[in-house]
């Protein structure tokens, strides 16, 4: 099948570019130095590719992701890097033979792990991002409590989410260092072999973590471009031009096929005006707000031309990969104009 035969909107993954990203990351963080975060892609077929380049430990954000990974046998070491108050479904997965670890940051979440039958935990520590995680000074006490309850405490987790997206590298490094001092302090009180942290933006400057929780590096998005990382854009949403007027054109992919929390998608070579549910209105040809193509880690043929016509196909690059994939049932793996595979986005929902 050719790309042109696909109904649109369609989520495309460029297989060679994905492989390049997987290879770059596996060289930098081989084996268990990376704990790939599947929340970015929600796709067991892609997770299997991560296993094939050497990563057998995975990170999840939802119980459904844990269940789905275990179902296809990617179950050697699954971390739910999130707090839950009902761990019963995780207990079922653990009893089926998977290794399941869950993050805890309070007595309530420790109790939930015990009740649910999950035997292993990480103490989640707040390292600066105003989200989950206990204060550094409570980490040791929570670890004691968990051990008293019969849980195995494998170490600590702490996500420097407030700095992973800082464009200035020096500031990103400094912010990461500050966060990791907190996590190291907590780890001294907690013990255990794991210090789990980081993301795509800090994969090469977080020197405290024993494992990095990165996911976006696989497919990338425009929010990650500012970080000037050695990863290339491997995903796009293919859309069809359905209407062209004197001043603008309209494509049939909108805010129900593209995550919008980081802003509008980019159409290389064009200026996006706005997105509706199933439409994006844009101006063909370079507008003043259009990023310079030279700075875009995209294939050249994605760039749209000025003489756009009804029926043309265009590539849209989302600003945020995670919520984009969560809208799609499947992704098409492409090699140039050929569709070479179809992957289910099978870890959606909760």
Residues at the contact surface with its own copies, assessed by CB under 8 A? 7-9, 39, 61-63, 82-86, 89, 105-106, 108-109, 126, 130-133, 135, 161, 240, 242-245, 247-248, 250, 252, 255-257, 259-261, 273-279, 281, 310-311, 322-323, 326-329, 348-350
Minimum distance from residue 138 beta carbon to its own copies (Å):
10
Q: Distance between CA 284 and CA 272 in Å, rounded?
A: 9
Tokens of 206: 């977080």
Minimum distance from residue 40 beta carbon to its own copies (Å):
9
Q: What SS3 state is found at 338? A: strand
The DSSP annotation for 269-301 comes to: TEEEEEE-SS-EEEEES--TTSPPGGG--S-GG
**Residue of 61, 10, 349, 39 whose CA lies nearest to 217:** 39
Q: Distance between CA 300 and CA 234 in Å, rounded?
A: 12
CA dihedral 235→198→213→114, nearest 10 degrees, is: -140
Q: Which is nearer to its own copies, 54 or 141 (CB)?
A: 141
Q: Which is nearer to its own copies, 33 or 271 (CB)?
A: 271
Minimum distance from residue 124 beta carbon to its own copies (Å):
8
Minimum distance from residue 192 beta carbon to its own copies (Å):
21
Minimum distance from residue 74 beta carbon to its own copies (Å):
20
Show the beta-strand stretches assigned E in the chain. Answer: 10-14, 57-60, 77-80, 100-104, 120-124, 152-158, 194-197, 211-212, 235-244, 249-251, 270-275, 280-284, 313-316, 330-335, 338-344
**Residue 9, CA distances (Å) to 15, 184, 346 in order:** 19, 45, 18
Q: Which is nearer to its own copies, 198 or 259 (CB)?
A: 259
Minimum distance from residue 278 beta carbon to its own copies (Å):
5
Q: Which is nearer to its own copies, 20 or 185 (CB)?
A: 185
Report H helices in 72-218: 88-95, 107-116, 136-148, 169-190
Minimum distance from residue 39 beta carbon to its own copies (Å):
6
Q: Which is nearer to its own copies, 23 or 305 (CB)?
A: 305
Minimum distance from residue 279 beta carbon to its own copies (Å):
6
Q: Which is nearer to its own copies, 61 or 317 (CB)?
A: 61
Q: Which is nearer to its own copies, 254 or 296 (CB)?
A: 254
Q: Which is nearer to its own copies, 4 or 207 (CB)?
A: 4
Specify whether the CB–CB gap between 113 and 94 falls below 8 A.
no
């Amino acid at each position: 099948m050719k790309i042109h035969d696909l109904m649109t909107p369609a989520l495309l993954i460029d297989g060679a570019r994905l492989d390049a990203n997987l290879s770059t990351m596996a060289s930098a963080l081989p084996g268990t130095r990376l704990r790939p975060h599947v929340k970015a892609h929600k796709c067991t077929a892609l997770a299997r590719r991560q296993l094939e380049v050497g990563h057998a430990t995975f990170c999840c954000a939802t119980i459904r992701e844990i269940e789905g990974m275990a179902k296809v046998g990617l179950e050697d070491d699954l971390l739910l890097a999130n707090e839950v108050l009902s761990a019963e479904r995780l207990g079922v997965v653990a009893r089926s033979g998977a290794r399941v670890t869950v993050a805890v940051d309070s007595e309530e979440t420790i109790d939930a792990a015990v009740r649910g039958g999950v035997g292993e935990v990480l103490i989640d520590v707040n390292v600066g991002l105003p989200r989950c995680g206990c204060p550094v000074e409570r980490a040791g006490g929570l670890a004691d409590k968990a051990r008293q309850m019969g849980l195995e405490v494998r170490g600590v987790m702490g996500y420097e989410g407030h700095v992973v997206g800082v464009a200035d590298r020096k500031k990103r490094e400094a912010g990461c260092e500050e966060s990791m001092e907190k996590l190291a302090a907590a780890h001294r009180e907690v013990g255990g072999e794991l210090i789990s942290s980081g993301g795509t933006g800090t994969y090469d400057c977080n020197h405290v973590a024993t494992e990095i929780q990165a996911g976006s590096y696989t497919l990338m998005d425009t929010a990650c471009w500012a970080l000037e990382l050695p990863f290339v854009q491997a995903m796009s949403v293919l859309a069809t031009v359905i209407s062209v007027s004197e001043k603008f054109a309209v494509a049939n992919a909108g805010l129900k096929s593209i995550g919008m929390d980081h802003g509008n998608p980019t159409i290389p070579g064009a200026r996006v005006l706005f997105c509706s549910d199933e439409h994006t209105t844009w101006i063909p040809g370079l507008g003043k707000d259009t990023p310079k193509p030279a700075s875009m880690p995209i294939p050249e043929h994605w760039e749209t031309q000025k003489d756009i016509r009804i029926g043309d196909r265009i590539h849209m690059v989302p600003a945020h990969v995670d919520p984009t994939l969560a809208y799609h049932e499947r992704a098409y793996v492409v090699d140039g104009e050929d569709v070479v595979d179809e992957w289910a986005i099978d870890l959606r929902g909760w």
